[in-house]
Structure 1
């Protein structure tokens, strides 16, 4: 086994021991048999296929979403995005299945799909999730909402007694839920995120003393770097990221800044390691 595969196996063992927090990006969804978008670029292309956006916004998900919201109203954006993720998946996702069976203290799920929530729901009831919400149309200062495993809202927030918590910082793209996507969604969050106000208290508690294992993430977008930086803030260090291929200059700077060990491996390597684990 190569040194990088050994390091990956050790990181997975750290997750299983509760000492590392899995941080899932959109690339994890690509391990499923699904037509749902598996990157910001792919989702942006779907949005632009339905609404023509100006050149200045084209190719940038957050700007394209802002244009749709401003010119076609928020309901149009919600409809496009919800339909994009309503396709579901035909087979099991190895990462989702592993985490649902393991139920670690916390998983950060930084994409809009509900695959991990569905996988958890098939396994147990002693868990919940907390998600970022859009303040579009809201009249109160709100950053997140918490739900138990039955999808019932908990106004008091995430329950510290839950053995496992899913944190979806960008929200959930399904009917009846909410998500952050347009520039206006993020503007107030980004104003406050440096002082941690939008980060739920229970998330801050569960990251303490733990490192992070980044799977299916790229950090070639400033928005994604800002969120990851603030979620990881004041954690226990010892971070690992599985990212295959060349990095952008800003990605490399980000990894260096947070002292993240990069493993140049395909995400399929994670599935390979999981498949070798004893049943």
Structure 2
């Protein structure tokens, strides 16, 4: 395990790893936190809007019901409220932001990692690409934003580093993939890579992925991870302290993902101790 950690630290510095962040990263942050899993988010939304009991704990179905019987704006407003604030970035957030990665994939709706980038890279050498809902942006799969939140017509040629938020984010424009129809549109095309930005496809080639704060115990998370990491290296890591489900274990094996059996806080402490000074700054 120590050898893996040293290898990860070296590759992070060299830019050979794409950090792939899930909602579990919020557990590293202190103070008030937004919802950090689909069940909590669904419960928060359905506490404010009545939905059938059988789907109250199912995020995508609950969001679809609200979209159908209220309005898409109701879904967006509920999501904006749920993620109105995000905590200060943890030490691991900041180290990853300051490190050598040229691409970060963040698969939750909060903007904690965006804050980490703003703090660690005040020179603004990065842009953000977010997935867009087809119900609001038909025919446009992604939106591009400068480090200050300004919407850009396209990815600048000198964009440098990229923060990719495939299911959207609260900041700066309240873009969300959250309802059944949102995901159906994307999953219909994702096998042929249409919703995945060309810059992301180009950068991942030959690189490893490091999964932090992620679970792969449902089809959506597996589908997105599988397609985002397509044509990358055949060697990856996932910090996963809980025993994998049968489907998770199969996914890890299929994708060449080595499980790191550590809690995320323990992994963060161990990695930060090994981080080269350039990353730990």
1:59 Cα deviation from its structure 2 partner: 1.8
Residue from 158, 161, 170 that aligns with 2:158: 161
**Matched residue of 1:151: which SS?**
coil
1:146 to 144, 147, 158: 144
1:103 and 1:50 map into 2 onto residues whose CA distance is 42
Residue 40 and residue 150 in structure 1: after superposition, are their counterparts in 2 closer, same or farther (change >3 A)?
Answer: same
Q: In structure 1, what is the equivalent of residue 18 of structure 2?
A: 21
Residue 256 of structure 2 corresponds to residue 251 of structure 1: no
Q: Does 1:224 align with 2:205?
A: no
Name the SS for the 1:223 alignment partner: helix
Encode CA deviations 1:139-164: one digit per residue, 9 max, x unaligned: x41100111112122212x3353331
Partner of 2:57: 59
Structure 2: segments with no counterpart, 5+ residues: none
Structure 1's 52 and 197: CA in aligned 2 closer, same or farther, altered over 3 A?
A: same
Normalised TM-score (structure 2): 0.91
Shift of 1:103: 5.1
**Residue 4 of structure 2 corresponds to residue 7 of structure 1:** yes
Pairs within 5 Å for 1:52-201: 52-89=50-87, 91-102=88-99, 104-122=101-119, 123-124=121-122, 125-138=124-137, 140-156=138-154, 158-174=155-171, 176-201=173-198
TM-score (structure 1 length as normaliser): 0.92
Runs of 4+ in 1 over 6 A off after TM superposition: none
SS of residue in 1 equivalent to 2:50: coil
SS of the residue corresponding to residue 191 of structure 2 reads: helix
Closer, same or farther: CA 217–164 of 1 in aligned 2, 3 Å: same
Query: Bigger shift: 146-155 or 179-188?
Result: 146-155
Segments of 5+ residues of structure 1 without an aligned counterpart are none
RMSD: 1.7
Q: Is the 8 A contact 1:160 1:202 kept in 2?
A: no
Distance 1:274 1:257, change over 3 A: closer
Report deviation, 1:5: 4.2
Tell whether the 8 Å contact from 1:131 to 1:172 is kept in structure 2 after alignment.
yes
User: What is the distance in 1 between the residues matched to 2:156 and 2:2?
Assistant: 36
| In 1: Cα distance, 2:27 partner to 2:83 partner | 13
Distance 1:23 1:99 in 2: 10
Distance 2:219 2:148 in 1: 34
What residue in structure 1 maps to residue 202 of structure 2? 205
Higher mean alpha-carbon deviation, 125-134 vs 65-74, is at 65-74
Residue in 2 aligned with 1:215? 212
